[in-house]
Structure 1
């Protein structure tokens, strides 16, 4: 079969109509990482009867224990579907071993470092090739962490990024027991006995996560840990980021609290950045939770329009007095 890309082998594996939406799924095989078996599924959402002209591209990165269904359901619900109907060209990758992305040979060793160094640049190149435009990026939770790592490590830059939005994203929450070396060593010894963490058993989501992610996190949060790799300090690199940035926390999020999300926001060097906390203090109807900030009835009416407005004008203030009054109604 002829490749759908001039960059690397790409196959269109599914083309479906979902009501008023079109759902095209591509399988990318970039061949740019040490594990040559890596294949990535990327879904493109658009209007089924919208014609060949597409809007501004937006890449949505799901969090841990999740897949593309976080952003849109088979019934056409979700932020991804909302943005497609608003005229955006929506792209939804699934990380290695998630959703339609098959598990690679070295699945158990997958890390954020691999996603950031190899997978996101390949996705960015493919989206730019197909759309002819520089995409905006939105990451939730681990998707946001991966995006921060790619930016801080300078694997992604302005040629591939028009703006970035982080939802429920932080790397500064302290787990004090992990600062005690014997505790970290014991945790590492136990975790190495497993290949993955089960999302269903842990009641965290429909997908599993490779144990490599957990081991990587232990290193970040250990006594002398840092957000980065041996040869790359991602945290320091975030100070060099200059693209427009939106960071969003949820007032009721105990997993990624506002203070920690704010610390990541403050580290970013962009001169054009905005921070929003989804809670009554900033005019929202409730104290949103970690998932509810993007997947809930109130998110549909209060948060999704905010995202669309940000994508249309990332340099304009989101929460003006007028918008706060509108949210309060």
Structure 2
């Protein structure tokens, strides 16, 4: 693997032109975790008309997903939108997703691994290549992973300008999981399955490892908490003062607005904004978990707000007052 980095081995897998955009795909081999086989695909989008790279933005996809959530084969999506606006856009794919190969211990992968090992490696490489600290935006599990990295102290001011969480929460209660027999049964079934099939569950194009499901069972169990045994991520969020944007959607039944807001309020951000996408806040529709970022309405109503946040670390005046849940 030829290296284009002084940090760890990196391969430039492809360099293409996509209309008015440049697309470079890297494969990183950080070798910073117990599983030395981990390799991460990282797509970089830039505007063909710009001579110098803009401010970097890292986009984290959610569960059962990959880079195509942000960047379609026809070069549409929030990623290209931000690249055309002058940002240096980076789209990682988590272990075993998209262009990232499955590591040897794929079935045991957890958010704890992404947060502790993978996001810091991605941050270091992006900063090395661009020279500036990045903004981070995460959807669903991507936002939860970003929150875990911040609350766990794996990412901080040296690697993050601001954090954006879209449809991300950790407070929704699943009462059956509070019953030990139900949790034990869930663990037994997950261990037999090995992976959670996105296609069979009709959740998305990618699979998820058993380890992720077991981790979630522990979070939502009777005495569960958001974190590891030796690191309380939820408590750690109260120490995070970085600018944070949290976005929920009225029509999101998977990650409801009240739970997304609770995650936002756990931060101690000096500059923060919470927004609930729905008609009560003046939007054309209620939006859903995916539609908040991937829809025609999102393109015209939500993407400009994301751009405004990245440029000013605030929302336009008409959205500064948070919407009640």
| Structure-2-length-normalised TM-score | 0.97
Shift of 1:322: 8.4
Distance 1:319 1:185, change over 3 A: same
Is there any run of 5+ residues in structure 2 with no aligned partner, and where? none
Q: Which position in structure 2 is the counterpart of 1:5? A: 5
Shift of 1:47: 1.4
Deviations 1:185-204 (A, max 9, x none): 11101110022111011111
Deviations 1:15-35 (A, max 9, x none): 111111111000000000000
Shift of 1:49: 3.8
Shift of 1:261: 0.2
Shift of 1:319: 4.2
Q: Which position in structure 1 is the counterpart of 2:202? A: 203
**Residue pair 1:199, 1:207 contacting (<8 A) in 2 also:** yes
Deviations 1:212-248 (A, max 9, x none): 1000000000000000000000000000111100000
Partner secondary structure for residue 158 of structure 1: coil
Partner secondary structure for residue 192 of structure 1: helix
**Residue pair 1:21, 1:46 contacting (<8 A) in 2 also:** yes
Q: How far, CA to CA, are the matches of 1:174 and 1:270 in structure 2? A: 25
Q: Which position in structure 1 is the counterpart of 2:251? A: 252
| Structure-1-length-normalised TM-score | 0.96
Q: Which position in structure 1 is the counterpart of 2:275? A: 276
Q: Which position in structure 2 is the counterpart of 1:327? A: none
266-275 or 114-123: bigger deviation: 266-275
Q: How far, CA to CA, are the matches of 1:322 and 1:216 in structure 2? A: 36
**Residue pair 1:18, 1:74 contacting (<8 A) in 2 also:** no
Q: Does residue 107 of the first structure (1) align with residue 98 of the second (2)?
A: no
Q: Which position in structure 2 is the counterpart of 1:88? A: 87
Count of aligned pairs between the two proteins: 321
187-196 or 60-69: bigger deviation: 187-196
Partner secondary structure for residue 165 of structure 2: strand
Could you list the structure 1 runs, at least 4 aligned residues long, displaced by more than 4 angstroms after superposition: none
Deviations 1:64-108 (A, max 9, x none): 000000001111100000000000000000000000000000000
Q: How far, CA to CA, are the matches of 2:49 and 2:242 in structure 1? A: 33
Is there any run of 5+ residues in structure 1 with no aligned partner, and where? 325-329
RMSD of aligned alpha carbons: 1.2
Distance 1:322 1:272, change over 3 A: closer
Distance 1:9 1:287, change over 3 A: same
